[in-house]
Every structure is written in C-alpha cells, then in structure tokens.
Chains A and B, each alone.
Chain A
Amino acid sequence: DTGVSQDPRHKITKRGQNVTFRCDPISEHNRLYWYRQTLGQGPEFLTYFQNEAQLEKSRLLSDRFSAERPKGSFSTLEIQRTEQGDSAMYLCASSSAGTGGGETQYFGPGTRLLVL
C-alpha cells in the first residue's frame, strides 16, 4: 500500500506526558498537512508543510504543539504536557503541488489520542 501512513494508530497517555506522532506521506508528495478532529466535528487544520518548510500554523496549534518535517519526507507532531482537551483524532494528509486541475489531499488513517 503506497498511501499515507500514520503511527501509532492509538495512543493513551496520562495528563502531563509528552507524545509524538509520525506521518509518512505518499512518496514524492511535497505538501503535508496535519488536522485534528474531535468527536462529532469535521477535521480542523493545524499546520502545513511544503517540503521541509512549515508555512502555516493554525491558532489551534498552541505552544505545546510542534511539528517538523526535517527532510521533506515524513513528519512528526509532538504534544508536550498533554491535557485532556488534546484528546482527539490527529490526521495527516499529503498532496503534490503544481499538478493543476485542483490539488487533491489524501489522508492517512489517523492517530487517536486519549489523554487520561
């Protein structure tokens, strides 16, 4: 399968702990997006990379959140000092820029985080 993959699929942690999620985009996709989805809501944009550059961060991304894409391939999303309100599904999507005709984002299966 050459789709977007995310690891882990599920994570349970205690409040105050740090967690890190990984996203592997579709090969050669130069754009990578992180979204967060809480129960009953649609996904919300968190941040966006073009190659290794982080070009945009949502106001939802507090100082406790940091995302990286060091070599322009996989990306990590770290949450420090987790809070119960961080419990959500974290989704990664990738796309290829400059394809014309409307770029399409393809999503991974998500990482479901539960903070106790």
Chain B
Amino acid sequence: DAKTTQPPSMDCAEGRAANLPCNHSTISGNEYVYWYRQIHSQGPQYIIHGLKNNETNEMASLIITEDRKSSTLILPHATLRDTAVYYCIVRLYSLGISGGSNYKLTFGKGTLLTVNP
C-alpha cells in the first residue's frame, strides 16, 4: 500500500470548516483513498473514500487532486464532537471475493484535530 503523510495535529474553531490534508504521492491507479477517524478510546469510524472523483456524504467531503497525489478531507462545520484522530489511508481496490490481506488497512499516526469552542 502507498504511504501517506499527514500533519500530526491541527486546530479548528467550532463552526468553521476543517480542512485536513493528506499526501500520497506514490499512490497507484488501483488504490482508493480512505478516511477514518478515531475518537478517544473508541474504534475507528469510517468517514468517506474515493478513487479519483471528489466525493461528498453526510459527514464530509473528499477532494482528490487531479494527479491523485494528495487529498483533503473537509468537515464543513466542525463541532466539538469532531475532535479526534483522522487517518488517511490508501488501499487496493477490491475486485471480488478473491484476495486477502491486500485489503487490510494500514494506518499511520494520523492527524489529531482539535476543535476549539
């Protein structure tokens, strides 16, 4: 799996947009970008994923650059409950029932986002 680089920490004011960057310059054409977050002492929570197009869901937006070497997770209106470690992960696209640990998630240390009142 391609390696990702994230800033270790970021701050954001409550109600403002939080923009979390991720660099994945060695990503290959069949790798997706996934974002998870982990609130203290809980299991990781899936946020969003994408291949090359921008994606949006009820939690966040994912902006992937045209060359796919970096991406940004956007939380449009951050709340105190969004304080968490955010992990950017690249992983192989799953083509079917075959395969194995190619589909494991390789976590780095992530970005600790602190939302301040």
Q: Which residues of A contact B (CB under 8 A)?
A: 4, 30-31, 33, 35, 40-45, 48, 50, 55-56, 58, 91, 93, 95, 97-100, 102-110, 112
Contacts and interface: CB of A to CB of B under 8 A. Distances in A.
B96 A56 contact: no
Contacts of A55: 100-101
Given A105-B46, A107-B43, A107-B44, A56 B101 contact: yes
A104 B50 CA distance: 11
Contact of B104 (A30, A33, A100, A106): A33
- Could you say which interface size class chain B belongs to? 20 to 34
* Interface residue SS majority, chain B: loop
Q: Which of B93, B94, B100 has the most C-beta atoms of chain A within 10 angstroms of its own C-beta? A: B94
Interface string B71-107: 0000000000000010100010110110111011111
Interface of B: 32, 34, 36, 41-46, 49-51, 85, 87, 91, 93-94, 96-97, 99-101, 103-110
B73 to A, nearest CB: 16
